[in-house]
Structure 1
């Protein structure tokens, strides 16, 4: 059971220190239904971001280990795709049930390796499990079609079949080099939910998977592998290969170029997504990409101001601003700008509490590492040098090197880094605008488009703006959007395909046309 896996994390919850060791903590790769060491016997350290203390050493898989995992997934493919949809549904539902039964221990594991407050971590586990539940139901609804034909002696059938082995890649927030190209990755932030949202869909339709988790947060993926095994997912169907920063480029290349891999599903930066797509094109693999965003949060003069401020806090500061869809810039109409800023400052002082994620009152845990803190500092320094004003926050918190004060900037302009780069931290820059046309132009100027938010009481304006925003996800008078029933994904350079919802299985299916003649 997972309870024995997380003894070290329970110790962390008691003492705010995760330096304790446990032989039961899963730290090996999970390949072909077995827990194994890397061929090189190498390991890398996983540290608690709040304190920097060691959680455990984890197996450091290299390219040969990646190839072994791909072969294991390929060998198990025929049996898994031949299983009835009802059987796959049953096993996914059992996996979901085990996650719910062990949600407290899984949440503690996330807080230990990721730093997010325990309440948020618990919510993530419930959210992550919901994807297994959802896709367990969708497994039995992969319908084809019978198409009318113009020839009386023919019948046309459209079948949907699993694409094959799927590589799932969720790298870490560090500069990596793939074929001499560098990119900054920031997608370790939901180590359980990102995995189940992808793997649940792939497994439901009959694909097998190889998961490369983020090197900062591999323990959650390994814990889910243990539960998958306990649920009865057959050997080789679900594989997890942790790797360090130094091994990530070579492992990622194998997962994108191996001829046995039919599709890749990646969450990370736009720059790295492009690199992986170049790798995948050599063997013409299917690819789904959830990439970077630059979410605008627009507040019109007609908005319910208190509701807008509450939505702003929820959107911007969940997981200390380290979410894929969190607001990157606030665009507030001039008629209510000053009132909005004043209410935001009060709400931040009242509702946001920086601390260790295991402290019950904490709403703002640490950032994942010091590099993330340095990026926030750099954006603030750039903005201030160009005329922005710090209304609250603006510096590292006294708790330690990875903690940063929730920060609000005013007098922000579109030429500042904080409006042009995805922040991934607790920084809220506020820009003032005059007209609807002006703010739409500002919001759509970005070459990415994952999420966008706006608050308005004008029904005609709501329809206009919702249709004109160039993003894949729109929140109208709502700051929290993610749900299993709705498609998650972006437009422009924010990605390809959709995750979750009934559309989430599409990236893992091939459509086959069958023509019956001579009837």
Structure 2
């Protein structure tokens, strides 16, 4: 397997203009996987130039042509699931099963939006006054800057690239510095599928902030799609303000998981494990704040404790392990600091709480107080922090007591669980299940968890703009 470690600009792989490179490190053993090219200001300008030059031609390409290219890229990634999973594990550190699941999920975005590319609808109708015909057309936004995080390096890339390409937009992909090899693998798949030069470009600038600003300042760049922290999202919204750049933001989360009285605890624990431990807890959708009713609290905690203790942990390339490393030692230290703060505030460490290199134990905290540091912070690690409650209305109030509103989970008898779900201030709610992500469903949050939606029929609309044309009746 050849790992691409160069920039991809105007249909060609090339080193950065000044020859600089940064190390991509395997968090499991701290070995250097590759040295990736650093994009200079000139490289970033070249990427914008290439995307701008290709925009008109790609927008004019028949939807079926764009569809078939995306379908070809899907076929490539689907046939190479294990190869892509290995790249993900080596630079991200996650468990093998999580990496395989991500590789399959990533490929599905190319298949889904291959189908959506030929189903962009407009409108044609007579005005109420009868004096005109109203045509509503949808056209590509234009050159799109796509910024992706390290936690799902393949899926976040395809979740942005696929709808942008399906809509007729050319793109510049800026992946996280920790995981550029996965992004390069995805771009290579598109290249092999026959992507025209300039339609997708890949840059990895260091330092990131000034180079992103440079690209956003270019008038050719009409769209920013960002997945990452709310803090960085706010900064990017400010950066987009002067030119009123069209933005989509998938930002941070602090997902509550509520276990109601009468919940099936076998179902609740199984779902909670998925909601918490998928990707080692490094997911914006990860269950972060566990609110468990007093009547089921002790049994839920006992079962969760046993389940967490049975998870095999270690390097992701060992396929027997179900919990891999954090993406870096620095991220592991952040998780450890949150657990230490929780204990200092009075929580009980029931299980785990140990770090070794970039590995952190599956950890269970009880006696956590609503509003404590760990309760207010997106943990991004394998830590279950349980708050006991006695009143369902109070649980809903606590669940909504956050600036975030991306994901929530409710476990209980169906009717009361759905009633609670409808009261939660969240863009997505899972009822009696631990995973909701699906390319066919709209993914996104409310409040400070983001703007817009990715996936579903809604996802392609983020890269299209309505044009109203009036004709004489």
TM-score (norm 1): 0.90
Structure 2 distance, partners of 1:150, 1:503, is: 28
d(CA) in 1 for partners of 2:220, 2:37:
24
Q: Does 1:215 align with 2:177?
A: yes
SS at match of 2:36: strand
Are 1:255 and 2:255 an aligned pair?
Answer: no
Shift of 1:469: 0.3
1:124-149 deviations in Å (ceiling 9; x for gaps): 11110100000000000001001221
1:273 deviation in Å?
0.5
The question of 1:34 aligning with 2:16 is answered: no
Alpha-carbon separation, structure 2, partners of 1:122 and 1:252:
31
Aligned to 1:409: 365
Asked if residue 441 in structure 1 is aligned to residue 377 in structure 2, the reply is no
Q: In 2, distance between residues paired with 1:153 and 1:360?
A: 68
After superposition, residues 409-428 of structure 1 pair within 5 angstroms as 409-428=365-384
Cα distance in 2 for partners of 1:251, 1:308 equals 45
Match of 1:500 in 2: 455
Greater CA deviation, 208-217 or 313-322?
A: 313-322
Q: Does 1:125 align with 2:125?
A: no
TM-score (normalizing by structure 2) = 0.98
State how far apart, in whole Å, the 2-side matches of 1:311 and 1:409 are. Answer: 18
Q: Distance in 2 between the 1:233 and 1:362 partners?
A: 37
- How many residue pairs get aligned? The number is 473
- 1:203 paired with 2:165, answer yes
Structure 2: 5+ residue stretches without partners: none
The Cα of 1:238 is off from its aligned counterpart by 0.7
Matches within 5 A, 1:355-434: 355-396=314-355, 400-434=356-390
CA drift of 1:41 comes to: 1.4
SS of 2:86's equivalent in the other structure is helix
Q: How far apart in 2 are the matches of 1:438 and 1:53? A: 48
How far apart are 1:415 and its partner, in Å?
3.1
Cα distance in 2, alignment partners of residues 452 and 230 from structure 1: 39
How far residue 59 of structure 1 moved from its aligned partner, in angstroms, is 0.3
Structure 2 counterpart of 1:276 = 236
Equivalent residue in structure 2 for 1:157, among 120, 124, 135: 135
- Aligned pair partner of 1:295 in 231, 239, 255: 255
Describe the superposition over 1:135-179 as per-residue Cα deviations: whole angstroms up to 9, x where unpaired. 000000001001221344521100000000000012xxxxxxxxx
- Offset from partner CA, 1:62-95 (integer Å, 9 cap, x none): 2221111011001000110000000000101001
1:482 alignment partner in structure 2: 437
For 1:505 and 1:292, the matched residues in 2 are separated by: 22
How many angstroms apart in 2 are the aligned matches of 1:315 and 1:366?
18
- In the alignment, structure 1 residue 51 sits paired with structure 2 residue 6: no
C-alpha distance in 2, partners of 1:379/1:449? 21
Q: Tell me how far apart the structure 1 counterparts of residues 418 and 315 of structure 2 sit (CA, whole Å).
A: 42
Alignment of 1:92 with 2:51, yes or no, is no
Residues 456 and 477, structure 1, Cα contact 8 Å, conserved in 2: yes
Q: Secondary structure at the match of 1:424?
A: coil
In structure 2, how many angstroms separate the alpha carbons of the residues matched to 1:371 and 1:313?
25
Residue 463 (structure 1) aligns with? 418
**Partners of 1:103 and 1:255 in 2: CA distance:** 33
Q: Distance in 2 between matches of 1:373 and 1:494?
A: 23
Aligned equivalents of 2:374, 2:336: Cα separation in 1: 10
Task: Say if 1:73 and 1:165, in contact at 8 Å, map to a contact too.
Answer: yes
Q: 1:270, 1:152 → 2: CA distance?
A: 47
Q: 253-262 or 196-205: which moved more?
A: 253-262
How far apart in 1 are the matches of 2:275 and 2:323? 13
1:184-230 deviation digits (Å, cap 9, x = unpaired): xxx31110000101110010010000000000000011111111111
Q: 1:169–1:252: 8 Å Cα contact kept in structure 2?
A: no
Structure 2 counterpart of 1:334: 294
CA distance in 1, matches of 2:469, 2:19: 49
Kept after mapping to 2: 8 A contact 1:256/1:276 = no
What value does the CA root-mean-square deviation take over the aligned residues? Answer: 1.0
SS in 2 for 1:228: helix
Q: The residue matched to 1:331 in structure 2 has which SS?
A: strand
Q: Deviations over 1:469-493 (max 9, x none)?
A: 0010100001111111111000000
Counterpart of 2:153 in structure 1 is 191
Deviation at residue 451 of structure 1 after TM alignment:
0.2
Give the whole-Å Cα distance in 2 for the aligned partners of 1:51 and 1:463: 45
Question: Match of 1:264, SS?
Answer: strand
C-alpha distance in 2 between matches for 1:307 and 1:271: 35
CA distance in 1, matches of 2:143, 2:9: 14
Give structure 1 stretches of 5+ with no counterpart.
6-24, 171-186
Contact 2:230 2:251 in 1 (8 A): yes
Structure 2: distance between partners of 1:341 and 1:106: 36
* SS of the residue 1:150 aligns to: coil
Report if the CA contact (8 A) 2:418-2:431 is conserved. no
Distance in 2 between residues matched to 1:189 and 1:437, nearest whole Å: 34
Quote the Cα distance in structure 2 between the aligned partners of 1:152 and 1:355: 70
